[in-house]
Copies of this chain bind each other. A is one copy, B any other.
């Protein structure tokens, strides 16, 4: 079996990562890649590290043609651009895994409030499935439109869902302190992302109102079965890859640290891509680099009563392209780990 897939917006970091993973996927063949800026240029000019991996040229976006040829299309366009093209793809009959934010929120009103512009494909929101396989595996398998989660939300949701779903932590007062590598900010040149600016210059950004909050609250609220709000601060790390998220939550009951760790262990017992660490060991961005793993660790602070849950992912893999391939495997009904077996690269 070799299924044809296309990638819209293949020239950013996420697009490159999709190709890195898919060219080694045993049951998939990339037949189309698109780019606005690089039409007609060969893929390896844009991603020289993939020289020899994919003999394709960048095309302009042509939804009809893509839909006619591809079983599944990955859409790695920026938000707002994505919702312009996804409906045509779906109408054309192919399935779509959208890596933008455009189909993650259930409510068009929420979308407008966080993104500052009306949603132009709101009819499709109800059909989109939030593509976090550990939470919505069945729904993903049955869907035609998967909204691949944001990188920060992935790191938060995998950390807190097991506790929220069982009512073990309070929905009030959740504090989330996240730190991301620079690749999460994309490949478009801006002064603040220059090496000289980032190196040695750890900093917070969007301290109030980062858009991923919408997604985090929607999904945590679904798990908790009631609305909730989180205090979320993103920071920019002087490293290319990786997100580490430190969550501070309040238990609703008294139990020992090892019991808290057990909650995670049991919840993720059968998950191929979640590694719950033994007590006393902690997730690091290095330990998951290049892989689809999410690492989780937990501690109970006996003095203050806070429960600390820490997660680490590679923002480009489990936080983007890897998770998208995992969703692809679910869509196709093939082995969920196909193409994702690579171990982390360390050091």
Asked whether A310 is an interface residue with its Cβ less than 8 Å from the other chain, the reply is yes
Asked whether A104 is an interface residue with its Cβ less than 8 Å from the other chain, the reply is no
List A226-275 residues whose CB lies under 8 Å from chain B: 229-231, 233, 235, 237-242, 244, 246, 248, 275
Interface residues on A, range: 35 or more
Please choose the segment from A2-10, A124-132, A339-347 that sits at the chain B interface, where 4 or more of its residues have CB less than 8 A away: A339-347
Q: How far is the CA of A301 from the CA of B175 in the complex (A)?
A: 12
Q: How far is the CA of A246 from the CA of B207 in the complex (A)?
A: 10
How many identical subunits does the complex contain?
A: 4
Q: How far is the CA of A265 from the CA of B256 in the complex (A)?
A: 43
Partner of A193, one of B195, B205, B345: B195
Known A20-B343, A183-B347, A193-B194: A199·B240 in contact at CB below 8 Å: yes
Residues of B near A284 (CB, < 8 A) are: 48, 201-203
Convert A304-347 into 0s and 1s, putting 1 for each residue whose CB lies closer than 8 angstroms to a CB of B: 10101010100000000000000000000000000001111111
CB pair B202–A239 under 8 Å, yes or no, is yes
CB pair A190–B189 under 8 Å, yes or no, is yes
Residues of B near A341 (CB, < 8 A) are: 24
Partner of A47, one of B239, B240, B346: B346
Known A49-B287, A346-B49: A207·B240 in contact at CB below 8 Å: no
Q: How far is the CA of A53 from the CA of B343 in the complex (A)?
A: 8
CB pair B194–A229 under 8 Å, yes or no, is no
Q: Give 12 pairs: A residue, B residue, CB < 8 Å, sorted on A.
A: A23-B343, A51-B277, A187-B191, A189-B194, A195-B195, A195-B238, A200-B289, A203-B285, A204-B283, A235-B246, A238-B238, A248-B248
Contacts from A to B (Cβ < 8 Å): 13, 16, 20, 23-24, 47-53, 173, 175, 177, 179, 181-183, 187-191, 193-205, 207-208, 229-231, 233, 235, 237-242, 244, 246, 248, 275, 277, 281-290, 297, 299-304, 306, 308, 310, 312, 341-347
Give 6 nearest A-B pairs by CB, closest first: A201-B286, A203-B284, A189-B189, A196-B347, A49-B346, A195-B198
